[in-house]
Structure 1
Amino acid sequence: MRALQEVEGSRAPISIKPKVDPAAEIKKMALTRGGGTYIPPHRLRAMMAEQAQDDQQGEDYQRLTWEALRKSINGLINKVNTANIKLIVPQLFGENLIRGKGLFVRSVMRAQASSLPFTPIFASLVTIINTKLPQVGELLLHRLIHQFRRSYKRNDKPTMTATTTFLAHLVNQQVAHEVLALQMLVLLLERPTDDSVEIAVSFMREVGAFLAEHSARANNGIFDRFRTILNETGIDKRVQYMVEVLFQVRKDKYKDNPIIPEGLDLVEEEDMITHRLSLDDEVQVQETLNIFKFDPNFKENEEAYAEIKREILGDSDDEEGSGDEGDTEEGSDEESEVDDGIKADGTVDVHDQTGANLVNLRRTIYLTIMSALDFEEATHKLLKLDIAPGQEVELCNMVIECCSQERTFSKFYGLMGERFCKINQVWATAYEQCFVNYYATIHRYETNRLRNIARFFGHLLMTDAMSWTVLEAVKMNEDDTTSSSRIFVKILFQEMLEGMGLKRLVDRFKDESLQPYLANVFPIDNPKNTRFSINFFTAIGLGAITENMREHLKKMPALLLEQQRRAQPLILIPLRILRLFFRRLALPQAQVFPPLSVSPPRAIPLALLRQPRPVSLALAGKVLRQPEPHAVTHALPLSSPSSQWRRQEPQPFVLSLASTSQHPSPLSLVLSVSPSSPPRGLASKAARPVSDTASARLGVQARLPSS
């Protein structure tokens, strides 16, 4: 009993916790390093409204608006991408970026460091903000330069890699001057180590195209330093290989590292503002801008930014608010609440913008292929997957990637691709699109993967699972091919030859329906390209498919002469001179001309050729007479249709009549040079001048005789 009383006496009295003041609790948590705990948007708006009723100039209200500004900026930066950057920028300008420029810069640097592939997007976003608010871009450069110095002294390789990548894209966007990039390269290569050279190589790949265009001499000096390091310094083999790859990238003119990626060139050059900061300048980090400070002129500053926002976004954005000082924060909270996907009925609509669904789909496809015993089982299982419309190309890409990862080509993947193409035309179209994409980027693959991809597509072509019209993407000439693409075409055609045989392959290439799509594979537009294609296919053992090109190459001189003949000017011959010609040639007029009439008037074209042609008389495509060659000693001047027929030095000509498709007139004349000698007495009779002023009015209209 005494023991029980002692235990009861030792118990502490129960205390009742006092009621917590929300404003005081938020103030207490905001002073912590993490900035406080999560507050739901509806609760935050309610607390801001309560504080606004009490005192809009108070510290508690300013702290709440600061918290809302921080969350809004972080949310907008975390969801920016190439597709929605034009929508995110107006929302960012809707926030008070002058008050929260420290929050914006810190959020951008953190987001870029955690996702380096998105660096061009963040650089483009900063470029747009910098055109309207240059102090934001300047603060970002100050902090990046400070971070670069600190990481260089501490040998912090991950931080330095992120910083140099960000600065490289800011130089490309002309937010920072190229002098800053050159100073960084000089510092990294002054005392080369494996890490410093590696960072310099990655930095040069990003900014090299810009420096080559704007500072060519300095760029050449940097590459000379790289060459010296490669030859004289004992750096690691891996780093040496990286330097060699950099020289190859420079030789390819940075085709995989453009100055500004497609879709991110959003600022006109005259609107860009470049900050001329260097590594030696004194930087002002201004870390105090990251934390809340009470502003005694809070209301005036908010009104001043409202004017700036009105100038940037226009008057329409101000009409959306209610007119009080908390409109900006409330509007951003409402937008963020809509983005949460909470509907009026309480359901949640989730939109995946991280690509997690696509990654899961690829993982499922890979596991399904690896677990299948044969291609029929794999095809059956893959068709049962829930593949959204438009994602068929992803499945095709995964099949090709799995095929390329094998040591040698496995017919399992070819049969699976063939089955997909023959089940539905949608899959055939998807594989045709994959062929075009892989051929355009085939230089990125190593030889073994390239071989497997070529044999995969060769199997689809030889089994007619995929249309042969995709060969239109192959341009077989010296300018449009690389060593990788030529190896790809070689293995592709050899796979088709092995499966079809030479005779079937040649007959298929002679198919008339495929000729428009094979014009680039077997070019006949240029003799140089024709010879290149003939030599290539002959070297790989497919000379039989080049017969048409060889025949065309033999006829090329004659075709060129024919083109020159057609390109020469035409003249008109008056009817009286025409009759005089036939009288001098001793041809009966009745045999040459059927009954003629002069209406409607039509001219007779005459062309001068450099090579002789046989004399023939044809009317409306029908040959009427083939007289013996005759020679005349006078020719019509080719200066103009209105020139006169004057006496000239003896010059033999042969006259022929033919109906041509190029000239719609029923009768045309061709006058060509002949080595024959003129008959006696012809020169004196034909020397009299004849006026052809009536050639514009006179003409012939020939008809075939009834006989």
Structure 2
Amino acid sequence: MAYSVGQDFVAKLMASLATSFEDEYRKEDNLSLRNLTLLLSYLYIFGVCSSDLIYDFLIMLSKRLTEVDVSTILTVLQCCGMKIRGDDPAVMKNFIQTVQNRVHELKASSTEEQEKINGKRMEFMLETICDIKNNKKRSHGETSEHTRIKKWLQKLSAEDILLRGLKWSKLLDPHKKGQWWLSGDVAGKADDAEKVANTIDKEVLEAQSMLQLAAAQRMNTDTRKAIFCIIMSGEDYVDAFEKLLRLDLPGKQDREIMRVLVECCLQEKVFNKYYTVLAAKLCEHEKNHKFTMQFCIRDHFKELESMSLQRSMHLAKFVAEMVASFVLSLSVVKTIDFDDAAQLTPKRIMHFRMLFESIFEYPGNTVWNTFTRLAGDEELEPLRIGMEFFIKEYVVKPNKALATKFKLAKRALNNVERVLM
């Protein structure tokens, strides 16, 4: 249901779950609490909410650490403890520290409070936390059934409905307005003011640094600077993608997104697949990005003679990734005449050699499908002939190990029926 309707449904579901949990907590209905806790844990496992919310929930429980809290923490840890540890080990340390602090407080308190620590459930919880901390415990959530469900959800673009940055307190806030789930947790208490102010100061400094970096990278318009800052500061490709969509650029300004993205990729010291994944996501969302990327890549092909080796290598890998993931077709290189000796300068030879070598690093079925996309089209006949000559002369001759992949590519180029593997 969540994947069909969207984030608004998910947000309301999570808020309803949180409210129900607090109601049942006051009633001390352990069975209902366990069921609600399991529901929350599985919503996390299947990508409805992020580990931020689970950690916030656990830390809230650990500050009280009543018998009910201990049982609830155990339920979460047994269900998805290893997964949250893997998602954010640093916050796991904070959670463990909170539990330890609370245990020390209980030890220093009355005899009645000390009895809680000596309970078997508390002891088991502490052992479980220790095992997770030391990576000794296996997650109960990774069954074969869960794996099948996850694969099915991936086909539905499940990451699109993932709620990020939510806090338990936000779910319980009775004064939520608008699309409150997009803004994360906004502090509403006076005693949080200093914390918020510090956060804002840090964000301002980060923004200033990012703008300076944008200027250094010749992002000379406000639009390009905004795109650059989003791409470079994104938590991951999904976060960057969502923020780019919210820019809501007018007219043809959205073309700048792909141009800035490619430029960011080429500027890196080490090739980063983050850019290719983000580019693929953008193209999947809006096909105009694909056309912009093609023009952008061809513009860079024109600059190969003056391009540094590092930029050339990153461009080759970027194009190879886009082609091998079927975001683009190999016809993106049709502006290059591989039969023209005048065009095949040493720098161009080096670049396209790196491109084809990168493609040949993929499994045989990917190579077959990649080259098959060029088969059967009469207009691409010169490209197929030129490409075959170039690969044989400049890719396979210096590296005989690629001969098998080349034979596969040759057969694929003649695969008129365009049968895929």
TM-score of the superposition, structure 1-length normalised? 0.25
Greater RCO structure (CA 8 Å; 6+ sep): 2
- Structure whose residues are more often helix by fraction: 2
